[in-house]
Structure 1
């Protein structure tokens, strides 16, 4: 079995974790592939990040949620590979499965096949000439942060709007993304195994609107009026609009997460200080 090791050296403890993974993987007879940035610092031979993804059976990602989102964006093949997230102490890392001290046990579990694969649905965002696949959320807002926007949101094929009015923007999140930006806006927490979308206007100019949860097989149309807009997906710019248009959002690809235990609600309590 080939273990892919991915991370970014912006945090010094990453190199210590890589060395720990390599040591225990060798003890279990596993081969390790390391991305160039990490390998160079450790005096090892490395591969480009997407090559590590391509040739690995399981991918170990070290860091926080941003590391995982970045790899899914840069390497589309990562959507098809089992991913085990390793959380650094300095990161919130809600999507990360294990802490650093659990690495030896995690590698043993992978070697023996004592794990399950949990599929989590992301988003598909249809723009004028391409489609973007995201894990957490898409935000549509004015290119001018000082301006509110007048937006309509409806389900494709329906006559009635789900939302129509002034706001600072619109957020659509996946179930996995419900514990990210959506949560900070007062959105509901969804079990990540649900295939659903959360629709939230950002700072709407009304007191009566509430978040809406819809099945992800439906297509949401966000209708842009005149003005300049930016589209942000999983924290990066993915598009710009001027003079109106339509952004269509629906359920997307399935990311595959290595699960050593069913601990979503425990993680809510430990990492987000949630008390149900």
Structure 2
């Protein structure tokens, strides 16, 4: 895979992002690449000396997108570019960063290594879903991390009837339910005591949020089926419910609405420099500290 045209996407809310974006762009130009800058990134950082493109143009022109920010920036870019198959490489300019794995201080050297062909490709699954009322689709969306159904107000709980491929699983009363990809297992799902899934698994994870009955536990399902989740009761009818597809929300759910969720047709490809390890990321991000053995000191 040759990366002749490279797009830069940044978390433009960050102050001082213009300097690292320009440094990265110079590295790319010196390596013989054409550089594109995503429109919102250019507008908010003032980096306009390179061609400025929206996501549609990036999808048609770029061979690689370099995302500088946190996981939220990476998720937003992945949702926009999944259909175009443009691979992404993540540079961590945020805080925790499970999928933006290259530290900012190592960005230029790591990117040169990738451009020279020293990288691994990882394919991540996504979810697609829709909100259906009386047979009519009211909203649809995709998610790299998760689809979350929860109560919109502060009062009462939301009750869901959960089916997989039309087969009844259970009813659940809780504050909400997280439907997560393996990638999303280290996001909201983890905060709700869900398990960590390796990103190569073909699975969907269901994690209840503060369930009324403690016997409702997280469950891992094959991603070959379709989940049907019907809102059978709301603690307070006037409070309604909401569905979140990563950062996009539909906040007008009513009793009787059905949310269908399945694995998305598109996947997203992440580029990692050689030596990337999911387990190393977990050790560092989750602070799994322990005394290393002599041969583990540099891992």
User: Is TM-score (shorter-chain normalized) higher than 0.5?
Assistant: yes
**For residues 78 and 115 of structure 1, do their structure 2 counterparts lie closer, same or farther at Cα, with a shift above 3 Å needed?**
farther
| 1:189 aligned to which of 196, 205, 210 | 196
- In structure 2, the partner of 1:242 is 254
Q: Given that residues 206 and 218 in structure 2 are in contact (C-alpha distance below 8 angstroms), is that contact kept between their aligned partners in structure 1?
A: yes
| 1:30 aligned to which of 26, 30, 33 | 33
- In structure 2, the partner of 1:220 is 227
- In structure 2, the partner of 1:199 is 206
- The C-alpha deviation readout for 1:218-255, integer Å capped at 9, x for no partner, is 11111111442211111331453223121111111311
Taking the aligned partners of 1:111 and 1:71, their CA distance within structure 2 comes to 20
| 2:86 aligned to which of 81, 103, 107 | 81
Aligned positions of 1:48-63 closer than 5 A: 48-50=53-55, 51-63=57-69
**For residues 78 and 14 of structure 1, do their structure 2 counterparts lie closer, same or farther at Cα, with a shift above 3 Å needed?**
farther
Extract unaligned runs of 5+ from structure 2: 291-299
Q: Could you tell which deviates more after superposition, 122-131 or 249-258?
A: 122-131
Q: Could you tell which deviates more after superposition, 248-257 or 30-39?
A: 30-39
Tell me if 1:105 matches 2:89.
no
Q: Given that residues 72 and 78 in structure 1 are in contact (C-alpha distance below 8 angstroms), is that contact kept between their aligned partners in structure 2?
A: no
Structure 1 residue 45: Cα displacement: 4.0
Q: Given that residues 82 and 267 in structure 2 are in contact (C-alpha distance below 8 angstroms), is that contact kept between their aligned partners in structure 1?
A: no
Report SS of the residue matched to 1:203. Answer: strand
Q: Given that residues 126 and 132 in structure 1 are in contact (C-alpha distance below 8 angstroms), is that contact kept between their aligned partners in structure 2?
A: yes
Aligned positions of 1:80-159 closer than 5 A: 80-88=85-93, 90-128=94-132, 129=137, 131-158=140-167
**For residues 180 and 61 of structure 1, do their structure 2 counterparts lie closer, same or farther at Cα, with a shift above 3 Å needed?**
same
Taking the aligned partners of 1:111 and 1:251, their CA distance within structure 2 comes to 31
Taking the aligned partners of 1:13 and 1:93, their CA distance within structure 2 comes to 19
Extract unaligned runs of 5+ from structure 1: none
- In structure 2, the partner of 1:6 is 9
**For residues 167 and 79 of structure 1, do their structure 2 counterparts lie closer, same or farther at Cα, with a shift above 3 Å needed?**
farther
Report SS of the residue matched to 1:10. Answer: coil
**For residues 233 and 38 of structure 1, do their structure 2 counterparts lie closer, same or farther at Cα, with a shift above 3 Å needed?**
closer
Report SS of the residue matched to 2:88. Answer: strand
Q: Could you tell which deviates more after superposition, 168-177 or 257-266?
A: 257-266
Structure 1 residue 116: Cα displacement: 2.0
- In structure 1, the partner of 2:19 is 16
User: TM (normalized to structure 1)?
Assistant: 0.91
User: TM (normalized to structure 2)?
Assistant: 0.84
Q: Could you tell which deviates more after superposition, 92-101 or 76-85?
A: 76-85
Structure 1 residue 137: Cα displacement: 0.5
Q: Given that residues 141 and 169 in structure 1 are in contact (C-alpha distance below 8 angstroms), is that contact kept between their aligned partners in structure 2?
A: yes
Report SS of the residue matched to 1:42. Answer: coil
**For residues 189 and 77 of structure 1, do their structure 2 counterparts lie closer, same or farther at Cα, with a shift above 3 Å needed?**
closer
Structure 1 residue 149: Cα displacement: 1.4
Taking the aligned partners of 1:199 and 1:169, their CA distance within structure 2 comes to 11
User: What is the Cα-based RMSD across aligned positions, in Å?
Assistant: 2.0
